[in-house]
Amino acid sequence: MTTDMRLEHKGGARIARLANTLGNSTADLTITCDDLTGWPTGSTGPFFACIGRGTATEEKVLCLSRSGNVLTVYNSGGDNGRARDNTVITSHAINDTIEHIFTADEADRANAHIEATSGVHGRTGALVGTTDTQTLTGKTMSGASNTFSNIPQSAITGLVADLAAKIAASIVDAKGDLIVATAADTVARLAVGANDRYLRADSGEASGLEWAAPMWAAELVGSADPSAAASVTLEDVLFADHVTLIVYDLILSSSSSTLLARMSDGGVDASGANYNYGGYSAATGQTSAVVGFLNADGSQGTIHVARGNNAAKTRFMGVCASGIGAPVAAHQAAAHDVATAYPDLTLFPGAGTMTGRIRAYKIRNA
């Protein structure tokens, strides 16, 4: 009989007698009695009976079930219910007594269970209790099939020290903040820098780093793609302390026309004759109401405008390549001889229209 088999007991089972003889073979598995009132049925598990208690033919039998007054002897997997609990198999006559009993085998199993600290209920390893204090070793606890709750840090060896060594998320306050080392095993927050700044090493800073302005950087501040346009005004592209670089690739509808430029503010051009200019391909010392930069039907070039949005006088410098059959390179310098701040720049052909691309970049230095 397996050690983890549940056995059934009934407290009111009366002593009965055999109604038929019982042979002495393990194949004799049916016991017919006169009255088995109150006996187990086997619904909970097998049960024991004793035939001829206290006589020379005493035999204890493990019964599988009861149906009325007929008992069926347990017989499964080579485990036969005859001659149990240190008795021997023998023949039994009609009227031999039969009783429902608790055996020495059951008592021994119960006692062994009480004293066991491992291998209990068919399980291997140490028994884990629900209320007593125990130390578990060699156990794997899966979070997928177990719920762990209300575990204080102090209850887990080493956790407090590990948590103390971690970097708290609260050290950072804003998007872009960095965690940096200020010394060995010491960290601090380096706040996010201003737009367009870059991170560079600086031993004079506590963090050893700083957000620095680029030595030189170009930022797109205006653009236009004119198509047969008479003029284009680039707004907010001139600055008090920075150079504006205008890059253009244009086709003028009139081959004899010149690309002209005026400073502007709020849609009103500075159109007075206050632009002084001169250059390699043009007469020097001229004064005009505009600044001329090219004379071509197809041309590319750049215009530098310094300190446009400043009360100081503005400087211009232009370089362009024009023409196809007889290309020309032109260099032009100019100044606006009025101490007025202008944020905008208007470009237009001297005659006709222009088509192409214009981009304005703010050139910044440290």
Structure tokens at 295: 């004379």
What is the predicted pLDDT for the residue at 226? 95
How far is the C-alpha of 81 from the C-alpha of 64, rounded, in Å?
8
What is the predicted pLDDT for the residue at 366? 46
pLDDT in tens, 325-337: 666 667 777 777 7
Three-state DSSP at 147 gives coil
CA distances from 137 to 127, 134, 142, 149, 158 (A): 12, 10, 15, 20, 16
Structure tokens at 30: 């049916």
- Residue pointed to by tokens 């007075």: 272
How far is the C-alpha of 60 from the C-alpha of 47, rounded, in Å?
11
pLDDT in tens, 83-121: 999 999 999 999 999 999 999 988 988 888 788 776 666
How far is the C-alpha of 339 from the C-alpha of 74, rounded, in Å?
118
pLDDT in tens, 265-286: 988 988 887 777 665 544 444 4
Q: What are the residue boundaries of the structural domains of the chain, listed by start? A: 16-107, 171-212, 218-365
Give this prediction's pTM. Answer: 0.43
Q: For residue 191, which of 213, 203, 173 has the smallest C-alpha distance? A: 173
Q: Which amino acid is at 186?
A: T
Q: How confident is the model at residue 365 (pLDDT cuts 50, 70, 90)?
A: low
Domain 218-365 has CATH 1.10.3470: no
How far is the C-alpha of 214 from the C-alpha of 216, rounded, in Å?
5
Enter the DSSP assignment of 223.
E
